[in-house]
Structure 1
Amino acid sequence: MRMKNWNPLTRAATVAASLLLAACGGGGGGDAPQGTLRMALTDAPSCGYDHVYVTVERVRVHQSDGAGEGEGGWREIVLSQPKRLDLLELTNGVLEELGQTSLPAGTYNQVRLVLAENRGNTPLANAVQLTGASSAVPLRTPSAQQSGLKLKTKFEVAADGLADLVLDFDACRSIVKAGTSGDYNLKPVLRVAERKYAGIQGYVSTTLAMSGTRVSAQQNGVVLRSTVPDATGKFVLPFLPAGNYDVVIASEGRSTAVVSSVPVTATTTLVNGTATAILPPVATTLRDVTGTASVGSGTTTLVIDAEVRATQALAGGPTIEVGVTPVDAVSATYTLRLPAAAPVKAAYAATGALSFAADNAVAGRYRLLATAPNRTEVGRDADVSTANQVVDFSFAP
């Protein structure tokens, strides 16, 4: 895998000279106070894929969160040529610069990432290659081709100031299998973060399967940033606002490991070094939770745009997310493989080694949460300590 020579926590990235920066659309100009918007793209880890390709054409922003594609007031960063990216190269704090533009100062409430279309071209503009597969298959991205991947967010552009933002593209949650057809859909999950040069850094053991290891920074069971460690076991969780975070390590065939209450201020917090690399215990038993998302009980109306998260409430806190998956785009089914063994937890310590202890009281016990656009979240408990479980979700009509 090609790695980029860029360290987000030690120096600011330079904007690629090959990008043409242009501001298009209406809504401002003249003598109005101006500021600058700079954008870059990064990715959270992917699940079960060797490559996830997307081809970016432009980024659009608007001051209204309800503005439609054809309305005035859009401002744009336009790439000189569509840029084909492998999202799996943009983990562990690596960025791909998208460019910058001048625009009227003010509050902006909508961002759209516009992708190129698949037109039978080689290589495909947007595609996914499964682990072990010899070739990539197209990603179906109808919404991206029409009006862009829409994010409702809020950021300020000050007069003569710089709004420096990162689009965090979570490939793991964005690739959706479409039944047994062999097709895959792109259901984008993106976040917008300020490009802050502070975060969390540490090391996991190199004996772990790195491609199957996910390290995340969480608050109250919600993932704010996640990554895959590099070949040395190093993980970087950048672009975090000041606050306390729980660092969660989920690795194939291992118990979940948690470092609680890691502080982030104006500089990067080092959790541990190579001499004290985190090695979660072997999980001898992994069990599956499977189910279907539908509307109402006993109906055949499937909710094919749902997502299911597995959370675990540790004794004395915190609550963490252990796994997440979109449901199948045809059958609305899902599978989550979870450790039956107890998670291990250590409190962050500014000095000294981390001291992990098993939380046996919650071994195999999870709370599953199903969400879908414009529907009320549904939660159900699952205990996999002794057997696999079937957990179906019924959304209100």
Structure 2
Amino acid sequence: MKQIKMLLLASMVILFTACGGGSSSDGTAPSATTSGSTPTATTPDSTSSAKTETGVMSLSITDAPPQLPGTVTAVYITVTGIEFNYDGNWMDVNDFEFENDEFEKNKFESQTFDLLALHDGESLYLGDIVLPVGHYKEIRFKLDAPEKNGKVKSNPGCYIEFGEDEPIAPLFVPSGGQSGYKGKGDFDITANAKIKIMADFNVEKSIVVAGNSGKYLLKPVIRLVVTELSGTINGTVVDIETFNKENDDLFVYAYEAGTYDSTYPEDDEMVPNSDGSHFLNSISSTDVNMSDGNFTLSFLEEGAYDLVTVNYPVDVEGTDPIVVDVEKGDDGKGVIVSKATETPVDVNTSDYPPL
């Protein structure tokens, strides 16, 4: 096991202990469930035997379904490592040394999984990871190193599967095996406690078709959420029968209340960026079941949201997405999401646009 190379001053340890370890700048921290004894990290130097208090980050991953050409059946990625920013330096979680070898079971192991299986509230547990006490704003996901086959670069553990008669498409992840990709979101690690963190890997924004080459690039957009402080929207498009199940495909985008401007064509959200992606400022998204109109937006932080329902006509190339409803809640100030709560929402596209 590698020794941790950063040296902590004893005064910093005293400060962390006095502050309870995980307080944010305003003195608050997410509640965490105590999970028994957690290891104490050693930070040896020639003059001090200071020890760093630790807690546990229980990490899982979820996804929003993508808009991709063709019949995509699976999007596989391989995560080879997790890094955290500690004392201004990035460190692999497996390089962090602690006293009790019992916690060797917390070491992160490489995992390959299908992102398309992880939406509508489904998630995959990645592991319990020991971290030093403190306030965190981001972690970094390392993916397998790219390889070059002829002129094509790809990451062997990252690829897209289509229908039975279509070949697998490789995914190239620029810098994925070197600097990795950041997941951003505030959370606190407190001493002798466990906190559950959900990494929302937004495939909708992350997979890019490169120009006319047809090659697929993965540029991950990852949102970190404290699971126990998040809520869910369970919605229904009540007039789903007015849509053609063969030719229409509905998606719902969640925006922080008041941040979506429906003015068109001035609305930048309706205009694709250089990668062809729309609705870039949305926080989360999901597809609508075209049979019953149901949809689920999971792992949303507490707050108010505007829901933008969009129709992507199937097999009509060059057609812009069509906004068919903007739901702002009963009072026009947004749909309210509370922690550990499921919020029901009815979307009626026949009422849009409002008179």
- Asked if Structure 1 and Structure 2 have the same fold, meaning a TM-score greater than 0.5 normalized by the shorter chain, the answer is yes
Residue 185 of structure 1: SS of its match in structure 2?
A: strand
User: 1:250: Cα distance to partner?
Assistant: 0.9
User: Which has the larger helix fraction?
Assistant: 2
Residue 223 of structure 1: SS of its match in structure 2?
A: coil
In structure 2, relative to structure 1, the CA distance for the partners of 1:73 and 1:208 (3 Å cut) is farther
For 1:110 and 1:157, the matched residues in 2 are separated by 12
Aligned residue among 112, 117, 126 for 1:84: 112
For 1:71 and 1:259, the matched residues in 2 are separated by 42
In structure 2, relative to structure 1, the CA distance for the partners of 1:115 and 1:72 (3 Å cut) is closer
Residue 215 of structure 1 corresponds to 252
Residue 202 of structure 1 corresponds to 235
User: 1:119: Cα distance to partner?
Assistant: 5.1
User: 1:118: Cα distance to partner?
Assistant: 5.1
Residue 142 of structure 1: SS of its match in structure 2?
A: coil
For 1:156 and 1:53, the matched residues in 2 are separated by 30
User: Which has the larger strand fraction?
Assistant: 1
For 2:43 and 2:166, the matched residues in 1 are separated by 48
Deviates more, 1:169-178 or 1:252-261: 252-261
Which one has more relative contact order, counting CA pairs under 8 Å at least 6 apart?
Answer: 2
Query: Does 1:248 pair with 2:308?
Result: yes
In structure 2, relative to structure 1, the CA distance for the partners of 1:151 and 1:74 (3 Å cut) is farther
Residue 337 of structure 2 corresponds to 264
In structure 2, relative to structure 1, the CA distance for the partners of 1:67 and 1:248 (3 Å cut) is same
User: 1:54: Cα distance to partner?
Assistant: 0.7
Cα contact 1:57–1:78 (8 A) shared by 2: no
Aligned residue among 210, 226, 232 for 2:285: 226
User: 1:195: Cα distance to partner?
Assistant: 0.9
For 1:245 and 1:194, the matched residues in 2 are separated by 18
User: 1:42: Cα distance to partner?
Assistant: 0.9
Unaligned runs of at least 5 residues, structure 2 = 1-38, 98-103, 261-280, 314-321, 329-333
Aligned residue among 277, 280, 285 for 2:349: 280
Query: Does 1:181 pair with 2:213?
Result: yes
For 2:219 and 2:108, the matched residues in 1 are separated by 23
User: 1:123: Cα distance to partner?
Assistant: 11
Residue 256 of structure 1: SS of its match in structure 2?
A: strand
For 2:294 and 2:303, the matched residues in 1 are separated by 22
In structure 2, relative to structure 1, the CA distance for the partners of 1:208 and 1:268 (3 Å cut) is farther
Residue 109 of structure 1 corresponds to 137
**What amino acid is aligned across from residue 264 of structure 1 in structure 2?**
V
Cα contact 1:59–1:78 (8 A) shared by 2: no
In structure 2, relative to structure 1, the CA distance for the partners of 1:69 and 1:177 (3 Å cut) is farther
Query: Does 1:193 pair with 2:267?
Result: no
For 2:210 and 2:107, the matched residues in 1 are separated by 32
For 1:177 and 1:27, the matched residues in 2 are separated by 46
Instruction: Percent identity, please.
Output: 29
For 1:245 and 1:200, the matched residues in 2 are separated by 10
Residue 52 of structure 1 corresponds to 75
Aligned residue among 148, 162, 170 for 1:138: 170
User: Deviation digits for residues 15-70 of structure 1, max 9, x if unmatched?
Assistant: xxxxxxxx9x9869974322110111111220125132211223222235x53568
For 1:99 and 1:235, the matched residues in 2 are separated by 28
User: 1:140: Cα distance to partner?
Assistant: 1.0
For 1:119 and 1:104, the matched residues in 2 are separated by 34
Residue 55 of structure 2 corresponds to 35
For 2:116 and 2:77, the matched residues in 1 are separated by 11
Cα contact 2:93–2:129 (8 A) shared by 1: no
Number of positions where the alignment pairs a residue of Structure 1 with one of Structure 2: 256
Residue 8 of structure 1 corresponds to none
What's the TM-score, normalizing by structure 1? 0.55
**What amino acid is aligned across from residue 324 of structure 2 in structure 1?**
T
Cα contact 1:167–1:193 (8 A) shared by 2: yes
**What amino acid is aligned across from residue 297 of structure 2 in structure 1?**
L
In structure 2, relative to structure 1, the CA distance for the partners of 1:109 and 1:102 (3 Å cut) is same
Cα contact 1:208–1:279 (8 A) shared by 2: no
User: 1:240: Cα distance to partner?
Assistant: 2.0
In structure 2, relative to structure 1, the CA distance for the partners of 1:151 and 1:241 (3 Å cut) is closer
User: Deviation digits for residues 259-287 of structure 1, max 9, x if unmatched?
Assistant: 11211223211113xxxxx4635xxxxxx
What's the TM-score, normalizing by structure 2? 0.61
User: Deviation digits for residues 153-199 of structure 1, max 9, x if unmatched?
Assistant: 43211112222111111112112222222322211211111113522
**What amino acid is aligned across from residue 83 of structure 1 in structure 2?**
Q
For 2:60 and 2:336, the matched residues in 1 are separated by 25
Specify the structure having the higher radius of gyration (Cα): 2
Question: RMSD of aligned C-alpha atoms?
Answer: 3.7
User: 1:73: Cα distance to partner?
Assistant: 7.6
